[in-house]
Amino acid sequence: MDITNDAGAPSRPTKTILRALAGETLPVPPVWMMRQAGRYLPEYRATRAQAGDFLSLCYNPDLAAEVTLQPIRRYGFDAAILFADILLVPQALGLDLWFVTGEGPRLSTATTPAEIAALKPADAVHDTLGPIYETVRILRRELPDETTLIGFAGAPWTVATYMIAGRGTKDQAPAHALMEADRPTFAALIDRITDATIEYLSAQIEAGAEVVKLFDSWAGSLRGPDFDAFAVAPATRIIAALKARHPGIPVIAFPREAGPRYSGFARATGADCVALDNSVDATWAARNVQRYGCVQGNLAPHHMVTGGQALVDETRRIVAAFSSGPHIFNLGHGITPDADPENVALMVRTVRERR
């Protein structure tokens, strides 16, 4: 987001994550974690119990803001990420959404031209997701001045895999099957999600998000032209629309398990930063991805469970590998519920040890 001085001229952002996203190489990288507000924290579990269920927590602005703030209070992360869920968008478009304890989300499906045509228009996200925007407004008031607020959405391909299968799947086979059997129908679904995602993220920015992130958790299952059509192209359209509406807004893209396709992803889509999963070697990524701009990542989440010297050594190795360019330290995927909160504290101390 642009910052101007009294004369109206752009000035350098002061928050560390915004500085990294603007291309600045910092002596100590800023740090936050995907899913940093989650079940590994006892205070989160207490608030979740107070809410009653996951969706009630997402739609209660006061409680959603509380769980977003909890890891900031405990660890002093450089960013807070809005507590919500990627499947709120398909729910806003008219699909039924519920969560099964121990199994995860379930959705009614949209797999035919008639079902896709019956989805609500993109601006339905404004009618349904008002509580999410209120959470953003609360967070902008409550967060420390130095902490960046990140909004997010699921990328269209990843969201589509749930809308087609009605649940998460190991290999996204139902989505691939629809893509192969009826590509125009599949493309129409991607377009509907893309339009809604633009509206949803734009509303988050208007409410106070300073950065937004696109999570394409299943991008790695797309190959060749399909990756271009359904990972690159929708991200490009979303980012261009957001930057047209909100000049200067930074966007982080996470095409998880993209492998060699990480290289060039930022240039192709207009993203300001590419988040890397932990299957990517940091030295390779520094040469082939960071050379074009900011990168985020990419410590393996299992270190948050096992801890010890291996956690320290790997954290130092990643920081060193990315030390010659803009870098935001993070995990290569979300922290798991069995993580030890003390290992998170150790990671943060290790990243910041050169302060």
- Residue type for position 154: G
Separation of alpha carbons 264 and 254, rounded Å: 13
CA distance 153 to 57: 17
In this predicted structure, the answer to whether residue 9 has a pLDDT above a threshold of 50 is no
Quick one: how many helices (H) and strands (E) in the chain?
18, 9
Which residue ranges make up each domain of the chain? Answer: 16-351
- CA neighbor of 39 nearest in space, from 353, 334, 323, 246: 334
User: What's the whole-number mean pLDDT along residues 259-272?
Assistant: 97
How many residues appear in the chain?
355
* pLDDT value for 4: 43
Q: What is the pLDDT confidence band of residue 101, given thresholds at 50, 70 and 90? A: confident
Check residue 11 and give its pLDDT: 66
Give CA–CA dist 308/289, Å, rounded.
29
Would you name the residues annotated as active-site residues?
35, 39, 48, 85, 162
Q: Averaged over 106-111, what is the pLDDT?
A: 97
Closest Cα to residue 201, out of 143, 243, 254?
243
Res 8 pLDDT > 70? no
Structure tokens belonging to residue 137: 């407004």
What percent of the chain lies above the pLDDT cut of 70?
96
- Looking up tokens 């979303």 gives 238
- CA–CA separation, 219 vs 60, rounded Å? 31
Q: Which pLDDT does position 102 carry in this prediction? A: 80
pLDDT in tens, 53-98: 999 999 999 999 999 999 999 999 999 999 999 999 999 999 999 9
Question: Cα–Cα distance between 288 and 281 in angstroms, integer?
Answer: 11
Q: What is the pLDDT of residue 10?
A: 54
Mention every residue, 6+ apart, whose C-beta is less than 8 A from residue 80: 32, 68, 69, 71, 72, 139, 143, 147, 148, 149, 150
For residue range 129-186, what is the model confidence (pLDDT) as tens digits?
999 999 999 999 999 999 999 999 999 999 999 999 999 998 999 999 999 999 999 9
265 within 8 A of 292, measured Cβ to Cβ: no
Q: Residue 15: helix, strand or coil by DSSP? A: coil
6 pLDDT band, cuts 50/70/90, is very low
Task: Give me the pLDDT at residue 355, please.
Answer: 59
% pLDDT > 90, the chain: 94
Predicted confidence band at 13 (pLDDT cuts at 50, 70, 90)?
A: confident
> What tokens were used for 201?
């993220």
Nearest CA-CA partner of 248 in 85, 70, 12: 12
Computed over every residue of the chain, the mean pLDDT equals: 95
The domain 16-351: what is its CATH number? 3.20.20.210
H-only helix segments in 104-223:
113-117, 124-128, 130-142, 156-165, 173-181, 183-207
Q: What is the pLDDT of residue 5?
A: 44
Indicate if the pLDDT at residue 2 is higher than 90: no
In the predicted model, what is the mean pLDDT of residues 223-251?
Answer: 98
1 pLDDT more than 90 = no
Q: What's the pLDDT at 209?
A: 98
What pTM, to 2 d.p., does this model score?
0.95
